[in-house]
A and B are shown apart, each in its own frame.
Chain A
Amino acid sequence: MTARQGAPGVEPPDFDALFVAHARRITRLAALLGAADPEDLAQEAFCRLYGARGRLDGSPERTVAYLNRIVVNEVRSRARRDSTARRSAHLLLVPQSTPDAGGDRQAVIAELTRLPQRQREALVLRFWLDLSLADVADAMGVRLGTAKSQVSRGLAALALALADEEQS
């Protein structure tokens, strides 16, 4: 049981501060991972974090990592529960921006949503959250080698899809 106690000298994170600091990022992460209702998922993630507070080690870094993992798992769970493909639902709400920049963004994001979910997770965690590969693996609940391979395959598939689109 002692393993579940906070590490000496680590200030207990403040949930309110944690919420304010991460709510926007967590909601956006959920959206980029394909959640049909990112705000609902973010609420659920914070509720689960709140429920799990007793088994966290008190380190803010680990708490944030745990929150990331909750989001990844919850997006997967909801996708399993709802077989209707809604991975790109939030994209319908994306407003148009400047044609050139927006065009490339939309093309990249559109191809991203067509990737297998694990590759999409790996790319979003690596290139949006800027996580290390070890942290990507942690958030995805996979081994480091698997995370590396998902990033690599995802990038290759994305590059290929974009090249095909540009040629057509």
Chain B
Amino acid sequence: MSIEERLTRALAAEAETIDVDVEELRARTRQRLTAAGVPAGAPARPARGPLLLGMAASVALAASAVVFLSTEGRMNPATDSDPGGVESAFSCPVQRDIDVTSGAQDEFLPQLGPGGPAAVAREHGAPRWDFVEDGNRATLRLGNDDGSLGSITTYRAVDDGWVPVSAVACGGAGNSPAVPTRDELRLGVHGYPPHESTISAERADGASVFVDDRAAYDHAGLVTSHRSTWVAPCGARLCWQAGEATGYVAASLRANVPTIAQDVSSLLFDPDDMVGRHNPFGMWAVWDPDGTVRALRAVLEGGRVRESQVFTDPSWGGGVLHVVVAPRAATRWVETETTSREVARWAPEEVTGYEPDTGE
């Protein structure tokens, strides 16, 4: 018997062992829809050219909640009670109001054009969306792949379509782009397989070493990308690259001042995501090519200490990178300690940033 035949028979037999009470399942599904805000037994609202009309009527659920299309190319009125593929409530740490009326920002402009809400979703990379009309108002919810809500935009009807009135989008704690993750002060993998290193072999004088990968809320409140950080020695410097395969930010640390920490916090998030927002983390680093540095620490309020993580590779010729991440607001100072026990301290605001990589 071929493997295909064995598999087909096994799957068929296995499926038959899974007993399903369809009536019970239907009752539970109905309860779930009702719990999601779909009022049972609501009067049907007439609509022209409805999709799945029988679907709504026969389940006796929420005809008033159905989002129908009319032949005029606009959706007919409906109440905002659609259970939809996008959750109706935010689950992110904070929600921020976005000015969509004054033209003061252009990062998130969910303008409804001829392509409708699908085009807005595509433009912002939203895997899921729901659009609900209610008289002269409408609501567009953009969501992530898992159905979590990223943003809500409300519109009012005008003669030739809809204009945005207000928008609320997800953000991280403290209006940051930081997506909550377990052990967020630890460098390493935070939920996504890292992108490959973008440091070219021509530039590197040793293997690329992975430092960190984390996702961020974009300006539409969605979690659509994550960025990986890699390091490798390059000439007299240590090269950093952070981003995705299609775009990254490069930086470098000087090696001639190994006991001076440098601020590389901005590599944690995409620069675009940081516009007008707050980075809750400080990330400081020391590139020690010759074994001079014994420790790098962030000393926090109350005397708590966060020690650095160390990155190296046999191909680095003994060079070591120390990196520490700490909540910036709680960090009192950053200190290095040499092998001869000399300690140098800086207030976070005194630590200079990384140098833009000029390719020199």
**Set B8, B9, B25, B58: member contacting A15, Cβ < 8 A:** B58
- Interface size of A by CB at 8 A reads 63
* Residues A32-60 near B (CB distance < 8 A): 32, 38-39, 42-44, 46-48, 50-58
Closest to A83 in B: B191
Q: Is the CB of A23 within 8 A of B25?
A: yes
Contacts of B75 in A (CB 8 A): 1, 54
Taking a contact as CB atoms under 8 Å apart, the answer to whether B17 and A47 are in contact is no
A28-B20, A47-B83, A95-B17 as given contacts; A15 in contact with B26, CB under 8 Å: no
| Residues of chain B within 8 A of A15, CB atoms compared | 52, 54-56, 58-59
Residue among A1, A4, A5, A46 with the highest chain B CB neighbour number at 10 A: A1
Chain B contacts with A in 42-79, Cβ cutoff 8 A: 49-56, 58-59, 61, 66-69, 71, 73-75
Q: Are B32 and A43 in contact (CB under 8 A)?
A: yes
* Among A4, A63, A80, A95, contact of B116 (Cβ-Cβ < 8 Å): A4
**Interface residues contributed by chain B, number (CB under 8 Å):** 55
Q: Is B158 an interface residue (CB 8 A)?
A: no
- B360 at interface, CB cutoff 8 A: no
Q: What's the Cα separation between A155 and B8 when bound, in Å?
A: 11
Q: Which residues of B contact A90 (CB under 8 A)?
A: 18
* CB <8 Å contact, A1 and B73: yes
- Asked if A50 meets B55 with Cβ closer than 8 Å, knowing A5-B69, A55-B118, the reply is yes
- The digit string for A4-18, where 1 denotes a CB below 8 A from any CB of B, is 111000001111111
- Taking a contact as CB atoms under 8 Å apart, the answer to whether B36 and A47 are in contact is yes
Interface members, chain A 84-135 (any B CB < 8 Å): 90, 93-95, 97, 101-102, 104-105, 108-109, 112, 123-124, 127-128
Known contacts A15-B55, A43-B25, A43-B32; is-contact A128 B85 (Cβ 8 Å): no
Check B51 against A6 for contact (C-beta < 8 Å).
yes
A53 to B114, CA, bound (A): 21
Contact of B7 among A24, A38, A44, A123 (CB under 8 A): A123
Contact residues of B with A, CB < 8 Å? 3-4, 6-15, 17-18, 20, 22, 25-26, 28-29, 32-33, 36, 49-56, 58-59, 61, 66-69, 71, 73-75, 82-86, 114, 116, 118, 130-131, 145-147
Q: 10 A-B residue contacts at CB 8 Å? A: A6-B50, A15-B59, A19-B22, A27-B25, A28-B18, A32-B14, A39-B20, A93-B17, A104-B10, A128-B11
